Amino acid sequence: MRFLFLFLFLINFVYSNEPLIKELKNKKPERLLYIGNSYLYYNDSLHNHVRRMLEETYQKKIQTSNYKSVTISGSRLLHHNIAYSLDHNNLGADDPFELVVLQGGSGETNTKKERKIFANEVELMVNKIHDAGAEAALYMIHAYVEPHKDTNPEMIKDIKKMYIEAGNKNNVLVLPVGIAFENAYAKRPDIKLHKYYDGSHPDILGTYLAACVLYSSITNKSPINIKYDYFGKIKLDDKLFLQNIAHKTVEDFFNIKLK
């Protein structure tokens, strides 16, 4: 009876709306690998912005040869050869990666069949990442907005459910980027987080917001007061707004207090 109760409890937790994992074991990773598609590489690549924020708080330069992004346009997770990328020698890195961020394709939330494929692929990838001695994290994507033809206010619900369930099942951190986009639009409907011409890809403010979410989720530190503003390209009022949105999103999502 005790085993059955524990089993049912764990099943309910896996399929809950709350993330099971709330922090990384290593909160100061320097050797990162990002796996994804154009959502990552638009706007000078997300990994560059996160790295610059981490360098600011670490007060040291991160060796770029160990900080990599592997992206395929329009890809889903199953399009990536994770075993090849995890071998740091194949990517010209000096040492094995400490953290691998997985970003799925936007189409992977469309149907139950596609969501099942995503779940299976996450499990396979996470197992390989852990076997390689690294931690894994799931990059929760944002939803479409107008003028995308598939814009649907319910899309974010499917995204949240899919990523949180996958994160809980595999005991990995979920990075709540998609929720941060929703929170930003709720406060400032006029802000431009997506490219105006497709309603899918992030504009520079969307990428900056995502970088703030990743920074806080990785370090458990608030992004507020980060000086980095993409070399003056992010206006002060936008920077402060996005930093505050990321701060609140991360605190609420993980039910924690950032330092």
Sort strands 135-139 and 99-103 into parallel, antiparallel or unpaired. parallel
The alpha carbon dihedral of 91, 92, 96, 97 has a sign of negative
Contact between residue 200 and residue 208 where contact means Cβ atoms under 8 Å apart: no
- Predicted confidence at residue 80, as pLDDT, reads 98
- Predicted confidence at residue 17, as pLDDT, reads 84
- Predicted confidence at residue 202, as pLDDT, reads 98
Q: Could you give the angle at which helices 177-187 and 236-254 cross, rounded to 10 degrees? A: 120
Task: Give the C-alpha separation, 102 to 109, whole Å.
Answer: 15
Q: Which residues pair with 32 in a beta bridge?
A: 99
Alpha helix ranges (H) inside the chain: 2-14, 38-41, 46-58, 82-86, 112-131, 155-170, 177-187, 204-219, 236-254
Q: How far is CA 41 from CA 34, 201, 210, 229, in A?
A: 10, 10, 12, 18
- Predicted confidence at residue 124, as pLDDT, reads 98
Using alpha carbons, select from 49, 31, 19, 23 the residue that is nearest to residue 202. 49
Contact between residue 102 and residue 123 where contact means Cβ atoms under 8 Å apart: no
- Predicted confidence at residue 196, as pLDDT, reads 97
Residue type, 192: K
Q: How many residues does the chain have?
A: 259
Using alpha carbons, select from 156, 139, 70, 71 the residue that is nearest to residue 103. 139
pTM listed for this prediction: 0.93
Using alpha carbons, select from 144, 222, 217, 218 the residue that is nearest to residue 185. 144
Output Rg (C-alpha) for the chain, integer angstroms: 18
Residue 237 buriedness (CB in 10 A; 0-12 / 13-18 / 19+): exposed
- Predicted confidence at residue 15, as pLDDT, reads 55
- Predicted confidence at residue 130, as pLDDT, reads 98
Task: Give the C-alpha separation, 96 to 26, whole Å.
Answer: 14
- Per-residue confidence of the chain (259 residues) as pLDDT tens digits? 544 444 444 444 455 689 999 999 999 999 999 999 999 999 999 999 999 999 999 999 999 999 999 999 999 999 999 999 999 999 999 999 999 999 999 989 888 999 999 999 999 999 999 999 999 999 999 999 999 999 999 999 999 999 999 999 999 999 999 999 999 999 999 999 999 999 999 999 999 999 999 999 999 999 999 999 999 999 999 999 999 999 999 999 999 999 9
**If DSSP codes are grouped into helix, strand and coil, which group holds residue 3?**
helix
